[in-house]
Structure 1
Amino acid sequence: MKSIYLILSSVSLLTLASCSNSSPTDSDLNPVIADKNYPSAFQYKTSKNQVISPYRPYNVIDVKGMKPGHLSRDPSTAKKDKAGKPIPSTAKIFRIPEFKN
């Protein structure tokens, strides 16, 4: 009986919480996005899925599914381990730009 009561009270609290007017913004979910210290990439031609990295060798990077303002990494700037494989966490970070038509 206690388990049913706990389940019903949990469901009712979740229902009330989902009815609130406040919704988290991107900067609430990821505090790194609020930090503006990362350089912005450049739009590649008129594509909204590709950008030019702000780091040498200025590769074109696919950012499909990412929104302007989000952060991404340039895999070509990653350091390599002893076996020669890139270490993704060492790749330089850049910001996705606002896309123009």
Structure 2
Amino acid sequence: MTHKTIGLEAIVVQAEGQLVSDMDGDKVMMSIRSGKYYNLGPVGGRIWELIASPTPVTRLVESLLAEYDIEQSVCEAEVLSFLQLLANEQLIEMESQLNSV
């Protein structure tokens, strides 16, 4: 199965069908579709919270830059990598272009 590559211009949102809980500061979830469990960690959990509604990746990066002490280029690379992992597991959905946001 091939997956679209997520870029900074994408709009991402949580896919339906996940059970999510906080556990000692980490977000953990189970995919109802696959039955797999995931530990998103504190930063991954924050990203998960920020994409509860459709969010441009650029806005997601801006939010994280305001909250964490990280260089923009590193933040962008790490966010794109994390989102790609989520997309590969069908935990998020994306639109390839910024439309009406």
Q: Which has the higher contact order (CA 8 A, sep 6+)?
A: 2
TM-score, with normalisation over the residues of structure 2?
0.32
- Higher helix fraction (1 or 2): 2
TM-score, with normalisation over the residues of structure 1?
0.32
